[in-house]
Amino acid sequence: MSARTELRASEYWERLDHFLAAALDDLSRTRIEKLIRAGRVTVNGGTETRKSREIRAGDRVAVERESEETPAYVPSQSLRKLYEDEWLLVIDKPPGLAVHPGAGEKRETILDIFRHEYPRIGEMADLERPGIVHRLDKDTSGVLILAKSEEAVSAMQALFQERAMAKTYLALVAGAMRFRNGTIDRPLARSLRNRARFEVAGEDREDRREAITEFSVIREFARFTFVKLMPHTGRTHQLRVHLAHFGNPVLGDVLYNKSRGKDFPRLALHAFRIAFDHPFSGERVEVTRPLPRDLRQYMIEQLQAEP
């Protein structure tokens, strides 16, 4: 069950969260921000997830909060831990589970489970994405690093920015690659036609950003190729865009593959390995996660089908 509180602003407020904090003195600022982020606040009848939204005199604001009878959140699964110490947690991210909520995202995420299992991360300054230092696409599986404290977040983000993280991915890509190994050095920018996509950008794009991917072929099959990928930069969709640009899109990629996911039921991309020098202990940390069963089984079936 839920309780609904309806309010009407009598004056101008610069921010929605400030208005609610003044009007609802029984709710903490943290609780208010969580309600806004969860889509439980409406302004003039429309859902508002921006805490910085301006409120004008006469605006109608409604807040829906869970009553005491509402069952507590219980995750559908536990985090699959690969490495853990007092600062960091490295997990095996399953495909189909987003790392954190995106625009309009209502389904369970890695962050939801992380908050439940490690409630202290709720004390971090970043209320929207506490402990998130990097991300994997929703349908990508494999090694993902989470941080348990503000200090760990800052230290790990610095390692990523300094390109001090050695990352290796495995993928099944359409067709045969022209070269068995090499480096793709093509800058990327957001697509001007579809804001959900990125593309290789020409010199006329001022918003282009450097993107470098090293690759090597592991095995060729009749219709696809098993490849190892080592990104030296961490741009959004970098591996997917680079591969699609040269005619070898990742199987199951609904954004960049013309098959629209008909050649494999999910994005055939796996974060296999990550290695770095621990920012606090100084030790070399290397975590790997073997190729998941669905990708291994697919390759076995294709081998058996080949003449």
Under a CB-based contact definition with an 8 Å cutoff, are residues 146 and 91 in contact? yes
Under a CB-based contact definition with an 8 Å cutoff, are residues 50 and 35 in contact? no
* Active-site position among 17, 59, 137, 139: 137
Nearest to 133, CA basis, from 115, 157, 152? 157
The sign one gets for the Cα dihedral 203, 173, 192, 97 is negative
To the query of whether residue 137 is one of the catalytic residues in this protein, the response is yes
Torsion angle (degrees, nearest 10) of CA 149, 151, 156, 158: 150
What 3-state DSSP class applies to 182?
Answer: strand
Q: How far apart are CA 113 and CA 144, in angstroms?
A: 14
Residues in the chain: 307
Under a CB-based contact definition with an 8 Å cutoff, are residues 29 and 127 in contact? no
Catalytic residues: 137
